[in-house]
């Protein structure tokens, strides 16, 4: 068990040590919040959908969690040949413990990032409806973080070098992000796209986060929580299996 | 003298070729053993099987009396390894790198602290213990990895090209550390290298592998008399031929090149 703790602490130390990376990765979420929030805000309002900042902030929080979580997972590709990970492969520790420690570490770091973005969103006018649901909001953030850290780990276990990474980003992660309801409401989206959204785990995460932070959860918090939790459990299991099959 | 590594009829077959073809040899406890061979000879595959990173197709291995397949954890606790590419965490300090290794190998806090201090002093890096590894030169990283390899008192230390790319002073120091630990703690040293004079100077026993088979075994002197040559390098060339060995660069080689571009080496 100490192996899980060791790997978790390692991820945290690495995160806190790199101040420039923390600030740098906040750039995009802030840009989206400000540019889209104030840019599309009036249009959203005029369309009768209400305050765009209220709608957008949970989506942007999810975005920052999503990308950081994926990166922690994908880091494995480099790590396993030139980093600490290779050393863990020959240590007398079962692989699943290594994977779990890394996943929890990556997810923790992603949630911390999400919380920073959450705090910053207050500066552009975001307000929380009911503070009582805040702990549940953190649960949703954690679930999203776990989902994408595990997914990144699973994918990285299959790739041998960084080239496939570009493909993954453009054809998997970007669509997942754009079709999750993070930036625009998913109701009323035409036919096929609506199905893709229903199959997108991030959509449940964003919906749940939005619901707990005071907006409306169109699919219902209960559904959001359970669908997301089950998918997270499945992806962690798959990721664990693929990780255990890595050949160094 | 008892054997610490016993290899019998070890074979590794891939779909289209045989990487390791029925090899048998022993490494005695406390020896400094050099495992030599041209590119593509089967060296790396053999080491992977010895270090539980790959499974044999056929044959048996015993390390410190343990079977790497059936007793994986015990086998792993018995050896340490210094890989060809650094496997340190650049964003942690020298001390933290060793500390994490100690935690993974289940060494208790008090023992860990003492041992880390002992080893860091030994490789002359104690006053750099709080520095991040990314600020270390290649030689310093290698010394740190050697300290780490010895941390959990392994019976065998595997080293894959330990002094490649290093300056003569560092190489000399590394050999002093290895010989000292070999003498004081009885750690068996198993290394691969392309530096023949190094193998000649330091090793007690040598095995040469080519095309997956062991083509010669013995002390440096025995190999030289066997081939009627004066240096180990000549003996090696006599045994393995002078043809160039073509090797397709794998993903690892490409990443290694990238690593050299972006990191200090």
pLDDT at site B146: 95
Let me know if A85 is exposed, middle or buried by CB neighbors in 10 A (0-12, 13-18, 19+): buried
Cα–Cα dist A121/A212, whole Å: 15
First to last CA, chain B: 40
Q: Tell which of B104, B190, B261 to mutate to test the A interface (max A CBs under 10 Å).
A: B104
| Selected residues 68-107 of chain A with any CB under 8 Å from a CB in chain B | 78, 81-93
pLDDT of residue B94: 96
Q: How far apart are CA A238 and CA A230, in angstroms?
A: 12
- Per-residue pLDDT, averaged over B227-245, amounts to 88
CA distance B63 to B51: 9
Q: Is the pLDDT of residue A248 over 90?
A: no
Whether pLDDT at B188 is above 60: yes
Q: Which of A20-29, B43-52, B228-237 has the lowest mean pLDDT?
A: A20-29
Interface with chain B: mutation pick from A5, A91, A160, A245, highest number of B CBs within 10 Å? A91
Phi, psi of B4 (to 5 degrees): -100, -25
Average pLDDT of the residues in B71-80:
94
The whole-number average pLDDT for the span B69-98 is 93
Predicted pLDDT at B261: 65
Q: Say what the pLDDT of residue B242 is.
A: 82
pLDDT in tens, A140-160: 999 999 999 999 999 988 887
Q: What pLDDT, on the 0 to 100 scale, is given for residue A20? A: 86
Contact A62, A152 (CB under 8 A): no
Cβ–Cβ of B53/A81 closer than 8 Å? no
Angstrom distances, CA of residue A39 to CA of A44, A180, A185, B162: 10, 20, 16, 58
A84 pLDDT exceeds 90?
no
To the nearest 10 degrees (0 to 180), the angle between helices A201-212 and A52-74 is 130
Lookup result for tokens 């300056």: B167
By CA distance, what is B149's nearest residue in A?
Answer: A87
Mutate which of B47, B91, B99, B156 to disrupt the A interface (most A C-beta within 10 Å)?
B91
Chain segment A158-209, per-residue pLDDT in tens: 887 777 877 888 888 999 999 898 888 887 778 888 888 888 999 999 999 9
pLDDT band at B255 (very low <50, low <70, confident <90, very high): low
| Residue-level pLDDT at A215 | 67
Q: What is the pLDDT of residues B196-224, one digit of tens each?
A: 888 998 999 999 999 999 999 999 999 99
Q: Measure Cα distances from A124 to A23, A57, A212 in Å.
A: 18, 9, 19
**pLDDT value for A244:** 86
Which of B24 and A160 is assigned the larger pLDDT? B24
pLDDT at B247: 66
pLDDT tens digits along B88-114: 999 999 999 999 999 999 999 999 999
Burial class (CB in 10 A: 0-12, 13-18, 19+), A55: buried
Would you list the DSSP string of B154-193? -SEEEEESTTTT--HHHHHHHHHHHHHHHHHH--EEEEE-
Of B77, B87, B106, the CB nearest to A84: B87
B251 pLDDT band (50/70/90 cuts)? low
What's the pLDDT score for residue B92?
92
Which residues does chain A have within 8 Å of residue B251's beta carbon, measured at their own beta carbons? Answer: 160-161
| CA dist., res. B170 & res. B123, Å (int) | 10
Where are chain A's structural domains? 2-244
Residue with tokens 């010669």: B216
Within 8 A by CB and 6+ apart from A184, the residues are none
CB contact under 8 A, B89 and A10: yes
Residues A208-223 have pLDDT tens digits of: 998 888 767 778 888 8
Six token digits for residue B41: 């000879």
B190: confidence class by pLDDT, cuts 50, 70, 90: very high
Band of residue B265 on the pLDDT scale cut at 50, 70, 90: very low
Strand B188-192 and strand B58-63: pairing? unpaired
Counting residues of chain A whose pLDDT is more than 70, the rounded percentage is: 99
Buried b vs exposed e over B35-54: b needs ≥16 C-beta within 10 Å?
bbbbebbbbbbbbbbbbbbb
Looking at residue A9, what is its pLDDT? Answer: 93
Q: Compute, in degrees rounded to 10, the torsion defined by CA atoms A135, A140, A141, A143.
A: 130
Q: What is the dihedral of CA B53, B55, B56, B61, to 10 degrees?
A: 70
Q: Which of A76, A87, A164 best probes binding to B when mutated, by most B CB atoms within 10 angstroms?
A: A87
Whether B90 and A83 lie within 8 Å, measured CB to CB? yes
The reply to whether residue A92 touches residue B97, judged by beta carbons under 8 angstroms, is no
Q: Average per-residue pLDDT in chain B?
A: 90
What does the pLDDT average to over A40-65? 88
**A244 and chain B in contact, CB less than 8 A:** no
Provide the pLDDT confidence category of residue A78 given band limits of 50, 70 and 90: confident
What was the pLDDT predicted at B264?
47
Rounded to a whole number of angstroms, the distance from the CA of A91 to the nearest CA of chain B is 6
Nearest to A93 among B79, B81, B104 (CB): B104
Confidence band, pLDDT 50/70/90 cuts, at residue B258: low
What is the maximum span of chain B, computed from C-alpha positions, in angstroms?
54
What percentage of chain A exceeds 90 in pLDDT? 40
**Average pLDDT for chain A:** 88
Identify the pLDDT of residue B142: 94
pLDDT interval class at B249 (50, 70, 90): low
- Determine contact, residues A54/A45, Cβ cutoff 8 Å: no
- Closest CA–CA distance from residue B251 to any residue of chain A (Å): 6
Domains in chain B with CATH codes? 3-262 (3.40.50.300)
User: With 70 as the cut, is the pLDDT of residue B252 above it?
Assistant: no
How do beta strands B188-192 and B156-160 pair?
parallel
Measure the CA–CA gap between B187 and A209, rounded to whole angstroms: 56
Which of A3, A17, A83 lies nearest to residue B104, judging by beta carbons?
A: A3
Select the more confidently predicted residue: B98 or B256: B98
pLDDT at B263 over 60: no
Confidence (pLDDT) at B259: 67
What is d(CA B12, CA B15) in angstroms, rounded to the nearest whole number? 10
Q: What is the ipTM of this complex?
A: 0.85
């Amino acid at each position: 068990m100490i192996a899980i703790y060791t790997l978790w602490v390692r991820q945290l130390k690495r995160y806190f040590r790199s101040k420039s990376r923390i600030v740098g990765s906040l750039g995009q979420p802030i840009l989206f919040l400000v540019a889209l929030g104030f840019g599309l805000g009036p249009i959203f309002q005029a369309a009768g959908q209400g305050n765009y900042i209220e709608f957008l902030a949970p989506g942007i929080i999810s975005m920052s969690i999503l990308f950081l979580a994926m990166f922690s997972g994908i880091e494995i590709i480099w790590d396993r040949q030139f980093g600490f990970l290779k050393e863990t492969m020959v240590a007398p520790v079962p692989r699943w413990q290594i994977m779990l420690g890394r996943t929890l570490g990556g997810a923790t770091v992603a949630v911390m990032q999400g919380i920073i973005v959450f705090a910053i969103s207050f500066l552009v006018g975001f307000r929380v409806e009911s503070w009582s649901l805040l702990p549940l909001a953190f649960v949703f953030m954690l679930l999203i973080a776990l989902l994408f850290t595990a997914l990144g780990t699973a994918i990285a276990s299959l790739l041998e070098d960084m080239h496939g990474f570009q493909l993954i980003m453009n054809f998997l992660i970007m669509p997942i992000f754009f079709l999750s309801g993070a930036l625009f409401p998913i109701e009323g989206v035409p036919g096929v796209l609506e199905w893709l959204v229903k199959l997108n785990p991030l959509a449940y995460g964003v919906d749940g986060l939005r619901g707990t932070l005071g907006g409306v959860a169109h699919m219902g918090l209960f559904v959001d929580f359970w669908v997301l939790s089950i998918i997270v459990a499945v992806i962690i299991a798959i990721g664990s299996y693929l990780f255990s099959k890595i050949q160094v | 003298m008892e054997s610490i590594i016993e290899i019998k009829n070890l074979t590794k077959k891939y779909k289209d070729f045989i990487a390791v073809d029925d090899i048998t040899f022993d490494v005695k406890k406390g020896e400094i053993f050099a495992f030599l061979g041209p590119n593509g000879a089967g060296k790396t595959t053999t080491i992977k099987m010895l270090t539980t990173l790959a499974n044999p197709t056929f044959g048996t291995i015993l390390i410190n009396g343990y079977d790497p397949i059936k007793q994986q954890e015990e086998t792993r606790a018995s050896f340490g390894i210094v890989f060809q590419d650094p496997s340190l965490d650049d964003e942690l300090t020298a001390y933290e790198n060793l500390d994490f290794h100690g935690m993974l190998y289940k060494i208790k806090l008090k023992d860990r602290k003492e041992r880390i201090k002992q080893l860091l002093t030994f490789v002359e890096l104690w006053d750099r213990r709080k520095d991040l590894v990314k600020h270390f030169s290649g030689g310093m990283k290698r010394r740190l990895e050697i300290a780490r390899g010895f941390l959990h008192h392994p019976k065998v230390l595997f080293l894959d090209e330990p002094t490649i790319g290093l300056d003569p002073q560092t190489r000399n120091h590394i050999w002093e550390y290895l010989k000292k630990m070999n003498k004081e703690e009885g750690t068996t040293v198993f290394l691969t290298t392309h530096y023949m004079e190094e193998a000649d100077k330091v090793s007690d026993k040598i095995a040469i592998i080519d095309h997956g088979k062991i083509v010669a075994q013995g002390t440096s002197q025995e190999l030289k008399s066997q081939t009627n040559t004066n240096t180990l390098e000549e003996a090696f060339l006599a045994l393995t031929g002078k043809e160039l060995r073509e090797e397709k660069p794998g993903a690892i080689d490409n990443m290694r090149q990238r690593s050299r571009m972006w990191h200090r080496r």
